[in-house]
């Protein structure tokens, strides 16, 4: 028996224990131990087998395996079936043969499953690329300006009125089942009702229609940017719907335009001291119903406020007076000054935060009804500021 095992597994050495001579031969169990290495697909694993054999028919009664942890992991996968086979094994040799066979079959099976899974993925990816390429064909390759290595991020452009607009489409491998993600630079969020039959051409067509629908909006914004003194945003983008426009050294307006109805009367906030904004507010309140949505925002503003809006290029030197009188800069946390000294001869602008800090630390600061009162750092006249929550 032992030499048979050596033929099958040459690195496994049998170590036979002595049998107990006091017990009658029929009841005797023989303990056999094998130590050595078992080869699974050219890989050797340490193994120690202890088996108790029933002497009369040489059947295995019980078996204990100590082995390399890696081999143990392989055995765990086949444990149930190995136990079933053990009952049918005629000899230790049979058992070791089964063990080796089962592990190798199992390894081969999982390897096959893995490669067939890879095959499916590969076939899926062929479908994916075919689909993406045919989608680009339909939109037109000339409109594709950027694409990544995996064709999962596509950037298409569209030109409107000499302005170039881009849409970035981000695909997942589950495309077209799952909706792609879109990135655009439009004043409103781009959204597309995606279903499994949707195409990227439909997305691109909707993008073009959206861009065209904002044409007047961008024209209006461009006219303001080119003809007014824009205080905020410093570098307007295609998505920005608001502008802070300087009217004179002490007053500016913040306008918010509806991109869908750009020529309608916008939301207007006057920024400056009560006294310096008063004339403009009065003019606006008495004339706002004369707003004419057939003409430009720029023209309407000039008419209603009875002013030629100053242009930055014409009045570069006059820039004094727009920055904060405390920190000497215009923008703080991306915002221009919003408080002004109410004393008409002073009218200094301040950031709310700067004035708050200034008053908090001044000796004559008084607090009433949620306001801090103190003196203007410039003219020493009374000035107030809303109490801000600690930041």
Site residues (CB under 5 A) for Zn ion? Answer: 324, 326-327, 341, 343, 346, 351, 354, 376, 378-379
For the bound state, the minimum distance from the C-beta of residue 345 to Zn ion, rounded and expressed in Å, comes to: 8
Q: Which residue has the tokens 């009952």?
A: 87
DSSP letter string, 71-132: HHHHHHHTHHHHHHHHHH-SSHHHHHHHHHHHHHHHHHHHHHHHHHHHHHHHHHHHHHHHHH
d(CA 94, CA 113): 28
Contacts from 191-197 at CB under 8 Å and sequence distance 24+?
A: none
**Least CB distance from residue 350 to Zn ion, whole Å?**
6
Residue 357 CB, nearest approach to Zn ion (Å): 9
If the CB atoms of residues 268 and 275 are measured against Zn ion, the closer one turns out to be 275
Q: How far is the CB of 353 from Zn ion (least distance, A)?
A: 7
Contact 372, 387 (CB under 8 A): yes
Angstrom distance (rounded) from CA 262 to CA 213: 10
Tell me the closest approach of the beta carbon of residue 382 to Zn ion, in angstroms: 9
- Closest to Zn ion by CB, 107 vs 379, is 379
C-alpha 264/C-alpha 250 separation (Å) is: 27
Measured distance CA(89)–CA(336) in Å, rounded: 88
* Minimum distance of Zn ion from residue 273's CB (angstroms): 9
Residues in the chain: 391
Q: Which is nearer to Zn ion, 376 or 385 (CB)?
A: 376
Structure tokens at 221: 């914004």
Closest CB to Zn ion among 213 and 375?
Answer: 375
Per the CB < 8 A criterion, the answer to whether 339 and 327 are in contact is no
Which CB, 169 or 376, lies closer to Zn ion? 376
Nearer to Zn ion, 133 or 234 (CB): 234
């Amino acid at each position: 028996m032992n030499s048979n095992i050596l033929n099958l597994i040459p690195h496994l050495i049998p170590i036979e224990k002595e049998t107990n001579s006091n017990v009658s031969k029929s009841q005797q169990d023989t303990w056999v131990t094998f130590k050595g290495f078992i080869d699974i697909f050219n890989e050797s694993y340490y193994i120690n087998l202890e088996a108790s054999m029933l002497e009369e028919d040489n059947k295995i009664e019980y078996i204990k395996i100590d082995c390399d942890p890696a081999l143990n992991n392989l055995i765990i996968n086949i444990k149930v079936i190995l136990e079933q086979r053990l009952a049918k094994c005629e000899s230790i040799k049979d058992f070791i043969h089964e063990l080796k066979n089962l592990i190798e079959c199992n390894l081969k099976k999982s390897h096959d499953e893995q490669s067939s899974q890879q095959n499916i993925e590969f076939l899926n990816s062929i479908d994916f690329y075919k689909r993406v390429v045919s989608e680009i064909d339909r939109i037109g390759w000339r409109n594709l300006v950027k694409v990544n290595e995996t064709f999962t991020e596509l950037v298409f452009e569209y030109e409107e009125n000499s302005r170039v607009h881009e849409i970035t489409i981000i695909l997942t491998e589950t495309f077209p089942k799952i909706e792609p993600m879109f990135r655009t630079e439009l004043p409103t969020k781009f959204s597309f009702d995606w279903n499994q039959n949707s195409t990227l051409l439909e997305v691109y067509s909707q993008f073009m229609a959206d861009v065209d629908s904002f044409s007047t909006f961008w024209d209006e914004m461009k006219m303001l940017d080119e003809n007014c003194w824009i205080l905020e945003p410093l570098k307007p983008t295609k998505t920005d719907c608001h502008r802070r426009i300087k009217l004179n050294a002490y007053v500016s307006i913040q306008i918010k335009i509806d991109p869908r109805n750009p020529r309608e009367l916008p939301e207007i906030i006057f920024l400056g001291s009560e006294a310096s904004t008063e004339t403009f507010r009065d003019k606006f309140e008495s004339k706002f119903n004369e707003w004419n949505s057939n003409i430009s925002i720029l023209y309407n503003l000039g008419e209603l406020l009875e002013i030629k809006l100053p242009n930055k290029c014409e009045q570069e030197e006059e820039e004094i007076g727009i920055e904060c009188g405390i920190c000497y800069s215009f923008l703080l946390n991306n915002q221009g000054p919003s408080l002004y000294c109410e004393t008409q001869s002073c009218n200094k602008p301040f950031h709310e935060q700067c004035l708050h800090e200034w008053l908090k630390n001044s000796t004559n600061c008084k607090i009433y009804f949620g306001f801090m009162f103190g003196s203007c750092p410039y003219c020493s006249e009374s000035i107030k500021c809303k109490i801000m929550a600690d930041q």
